[in-house]
Structure 1
Amino acid sequence: MLRSGDLTEEYGSIILLEDDIYPSPHFYNYAASALDYYQDDDRIAGISLYSPQYNETSFMGFRPMQDDVDAYFLALPSSWGQAWTWEQWRRFKAWYDANADKDIAPIVPPNVRLWPESSWKKYFIAYMCDSNLFFVYPYLSFSTNFSDIGVNHKTNSTRFQVPIHMFPKEYVFKPMDESLCVYDEYCELLPDRFVRLAPHLGDSDLVVDLYGVKDLNQFQATHILTSRPMPALASWSKDLKPHELNVVCDIKGNGLNYGLLCDCDKTPLNINAESVCYYYNVSRRVLRWCRID
């Protein structure tokens, strides 16, 4: 994989598609447009062709907030169709060479710590977290993943299949500073973006933890917005989707809590029937058929 990225030195930019990736007919035009637009922004670590519907940190469904452009920003690299400029790849390799012996556990999500040392993506996540960088992700995917039997999959699966872009269009982007849809490595909106969308929150000195799985020992904020049970100063429902909309639209209820970080239980939430129903749009009857409780 690292040798593939090194091809940027020869070609200037590359699009990387592994053998289980199926691209949209329009993947090249999108990648070229996005690379051209963001090539001078040092905060951008690469361009994703894939649009995830799964949060690999919480193991739940993921839906980004919609914006008036074709892309949003996420502090996780893409491995299912991605593009880099030479400069983007060069910066990663320089970090990788300088941090070969670095303990990355304190700076990456807990599940990423368990990935094998052979995973290039594990170190690219660490690089992005350590350097406060983002990938550009399309709202509608330009690649999808067959998850064929192989090194990473023991059985065939459609879990990572997503709809792909089938029609040509002119792609519209905006600078990251102007975007309200900027997500961290847990697929949570950045606090300053959340407060811009929901001014009634007041202070952006908070941890956004709507999935309830963050390692809270990594944070020093005064407040938290979370799905974990806690003594709440304010609460909102989990009715609208994506879940951020409940706070943005001020839909009062139970499910999302705002309070002092010091009052919050630091135990990550476990997946349960309620969260499966909410994030995957299935009924409890289906879960009973599948013997999930």
Structure 2
Amino acid sequence: MLAPIVIFAFNRPEALQKLLDSLRMNSFYEESDKYIFIDGPRCEEDKAKVDEVVTIARKVASNISISPVNRGLGNSIIAGVSTIIAEYGKAIVLEDDLICAPNFLSYMNQALDFYENDNKIISICGYGLKIKRPRGYVGDVYLLGRSSSWGWATWKDRCEQIDWDIQDWNEFSSNKQMRRAFNKNGSDMYSMLKGYMEGKNHSWAIRFCYNQFKLGKYSICPFISKVDNIGFGEEATNCKQRYSRFKVNMDIAHSHEFLFEKDIESNKRIEKLCYRYHSITLRLYSKIRKTLHI
């Protein structure tokens, strides 16, 4: 059974159109059930663009949910994914600032099937950082202790393990050793979670990653990315800067055959290469460029 495609959109009709155009190039697009969740306008100025998004969505899907109020991306994704995954047992999730390679759906569905019974895997990521495959490494994917929100999928039993309210926050935040361990997946991890708990951001992704860390689970990531994020700019919800430190090798081979390892294990070399993208140095460089609008 193909996983349903769950898309979250807001006020960027051009971005949604580009995402849908890229998905149409995929095998299994027509056969896949599609659900589009559209958040309500934040103000009167948003209304016209949200209406455009609704018009585009109605041309490609009959399963459309339009919020009468602005719920925010985090609340929309948690509620929407929970609803769909309860029915199907799995789901492929996309936001409207992404474009997909023509083999994205093949990769995601195959990986979901292959790793469904591997309980150390919490999610399948379509996005993969630009890193070199270590010499002698077998397989087209690797394990990472940090999931990506840019084109991902998971299963019902994994989703049900997520504590979105972070009920153990007081215990965790007072444990220096645990905070340090969490930051091994990126120097920004604890600060982002702290920001959410203090009401400074509304990120669902950092809560997902924290639960992933707490449960000791991994994400499957591709060496050749099946997704790119084009949503950097002033209209973006979370990525308002134009510069992105997250580089990709986008898949141009379009192969529908992928080498997955049954007993895949984490690789320290790969983890180190991925950590560089979340290092203090690169984050500082990115912040400077954001401040200078370059």
TM-score, scaled to structure 2: 0.55
Partner of 2:80: 4
Q: CA deviation at 1:63?
A: 4.4
Partner of 1:77: 147
Deviations 1:115-166 (A, max 9, x none): 2312112212211111110000011011011133222233323543523223
Counterpart residue identity of residue 175, structure 1: K
Counterpart-to-counterpart distance in 2, 1:39 and 1:175: 11
Counterpart residue identity of residue 128, structure 1: Q
Partner of 2:255: 168
1:271 aligns with 2:275: no
Q: Residue 4 and residue 161 in structure 1: after superposition, are their counterparts in 2 closer, same or farther (change >3 A)?
A: farther
Structure 1: gaps (5+ residues) = 54-61, 190-209, 214-268, 277-293
Q: Residue 17 and residue 24 in structure 1: after superposition, are their counterparts in 2 closer, same or farther (change >3 A)?
A: same
Q: If each structure's helix is expressed as a fraction of its own residues, which one has the higher value?
A: 2
Counterpart residue identity of residue 42, structure 1: N
Counterpart-to-counterpart distance in 2, 1:183 and 1:90: 31
Instruction: Report sequence identity in percent.
Output: 23
Counterpart-to-counterpart distance in 1, 2:91 and 2:154: 6
SS in 2 for 1:147: coil
Deviations 1:214-234 (A, max 9, x none): xxxxxxxxxxxxxxxxxxxxx
Deviations 1:165-212 (A, max 9, x none): 2312311111245x463679xx339xxxxxxxxxxxxxxxxxxxx96x
Q: Residue 146 and residue 270 in structure 1: after superposition, are their counterparts in 2 closer, same or farther (change >3 A)?
A: closer
Partner of 2:289: none
Trace 1:226-237 onto structure 2 (pairs within 5 A): none
Counterpart-to-counterpart distance in 2, 1:96 and 1:125: 11
**Does structure 2 conserve the Cα–Cα contact (< 8 Å) formed by 1:12 and 1:86?**
yes
Deviations 1:13-47 (A, max 9, x none): 11111111111111111001101010001110000
**Does structure 1 conserve the Cα–Cα contact (< 8 Å) formed by 2:122 and 2:219?**
yes
TM-score, scaled to structure 1: 0.55
1:38 aligns with 2:118: no
1:140 aligns with 2:140: no
Structure 2: gaps (5+ residues) = 1-76, 197-201, 286-294
Counterpart-to-counterpart distance in 2, 1:124 and 1:176: 24
Trace 1:1-293 onto structure 2 (pairs within 5 A): 1-6=77-82, 7-53=84-130, 63=132, 65=134, 67-92=137-162, 95-96=163-164, 99-103=166-170, 104-105=172-173, 106-107=178-179, 108-109=182-183, 110-115=187-192, 116-117=195-196, 118-149=202-233, 150-166=236-252, 167-177=254-264, 179=265, 181=267, 187-188=271-272, 271=281
Q: Residue 13 and residue 182 in structure 1: after superposition, are their counterparts in 2 closer, same or farther (change >3 A)?
A: farther
Deviations 1:68-126 (A, max 9, x none): 2111100001111101111221222xx445x4242344342152222231211221221
Counterpart-to-counterpart distance in 1, 2:211 and 2:116: 18
**Does structure 2 conserve the Cα–Cα contact (< 8 Å) formed by 1:145 and 1:161?**
no
Q: Residue 130 and residue 183 in structure 1: after superposition, are their counterparts in 2 closer, same or farther (change >3 A)?
A: farther
Counterpart-to-counterpart distance in 2, 1:157 and 1:75: 25
Counterpart residue identity of residue 102, structure 1: W
Which structure's CA Rg is the greater one?
1
Equivalent residue pairs, number: 183
Counterpart-to-counterpart distance in 2, 1:158 and 1:270: 15
Counterpart-to-counterpart distance in 2, 1:43 and 1:129: 11
Q: Residue 102 and residue 64 in structure 1: after superposition, are their counterparts in 2 closer, same or farther (change >3 A)?
A: farther
Higher relative contact order (CA 8 A, sep 6+): 2
Stretches (4+) displaced over 4 A: none
Q: Residue 3 and residue 183 in structure 1: after superposition, are their counterparts in 2 closer, same or farther (change >3 A)?
A: farther
Counterpart-to-counterpart distance in 1, 2:115 and 2:157: 12
